[in-house]
Amino acid sequence: MANQSSLSGFLLLEFTKVRELQILHFLVFLVLYLATVTGNLLIISAVAFDHHLHTPMYLFLMNLAIQDLGAVTVIMPKSMANSLFNTRHISYLECVAQVLLLILFLSSDMCLLTVMAYDRYVAICNPLQYEMIMNKQVCIKMIAGVWIASLLYGSLNAAGTFATPFCSNVVNQFFCEIPPILKLTCSDLNLPEMGAIVFGIVLASGCFVFVITTYVHIFISVLRIPSVQGRQKAFSTCLPHLIVFSTFVFTAAFAYLKPTPDAPSNIDLTFTVLYSMVPPMMNPVIYSIRNKEIKMSISKLLGLQHLSKNASFGF
């Protein structure tokens, strides 16, 4: 296959050739996907239908759930379908769409988690000015800015990735991801995509430094709170965000900064599954397990009134 003009599609990596194990892979991915979809839809519905949660922190959390839901939907259904129907094929346009949407959701995750860090900084370090600084209009503009910037960055990456001819169509990954696709290009140097990657690294590094600096100021302010209960409440609102941000950064760094192997091992596949599926599945659990408002809202949403009462009494 000499160039992309004759490229009708790609062949994705299959986990196994054994039919029984392919069905098992489909079932395992189906359970993980349904768990992820259920958890994130509960967060989205809880925030959307409970007017008490229409605050910047929960609106950001709802958008994070939308992004996580989008990220796994881009990857998992196609992989499940390939295992179920015993095929490896993905069309050229489907592959382009996977790259574009995956970068869109991942970059919007990074940007939104950075914005959420700023929201926590204002709430804890400048509580008297919080409503003036983080009003509804500012919140909507921030969210819109995150989506627009991420869409532009995703488009830049997709255009750069598929700008050069391909000498092979065998992708050593179970979904279309930029590093293994770049291994297929006929040229050793893909300047458009290298520029996009460098820009992404600089942007991600800037977000990381900003969040770390922000949390240094937050922890200093929290330690100055005189009451133990006040410090615990402040930590309880920051800890889930810090856990989610750390998980996202370290898994994404492993995915995109490690050398791309010519033939991925079982360890590589395991880490790929972990970084692509575990964070979106665990984020709703991390945020809801320490948040009484979210737990009470979900309980009301599901009609479990007695659980709401127990949560209100601290059970």
* DSSP single-letter state for residue 5: G
Q: List, in sequence order, every residue forming a beta bridge with 271; answer none if it has no partner.
A: none
* pLDDT band per the 50, 70, 90 thresholds, residue 314: very low
Query: Quick one: tokens of 36?
Result: 């992820």
Length of the chain: 315
How many whole angstroms separate alpha carbon 130 and alpha carbon 124?
Answer: 9
Burial of 257 (0-12, 13-18, 19+ CB in 10 A): exposed
Domains of the chain: 4-312 (1.20.1070.10)
Q: What is the DSSP letter of 264?
A: -
pLDDT digits (tens, 9 = 90+) for 163-209: 878 888 898 888 998 888 888 888 766 666 677 777 777 888 888 88
* Cα dihedral: 259, 169, 178, 102 (round 10): -140
- Which residues, 6 or more positions from 231, have their beta carbon under 8 angstroms from its beta carbon? 222, 223, 225
Query: Under 8 Å CB-to-CB from 222, ≥6 apart: which residues?
Result: 124, 231, 234, 235, 238
In 3D space, the residue among 215, 255, 19, 33 whose CA is nearest the CA of residue 116 turns out to be 215
Helix (H, G, I), strand (E, B) or coil at 137: helix
Q: Tokens standing for 296?
A: 């009470």
Give per-residue pLDDT as tens, 67-126: 999 999 999 999 999 999 999 899 999 999 999 999 999 899 889 989 988 998 998 888
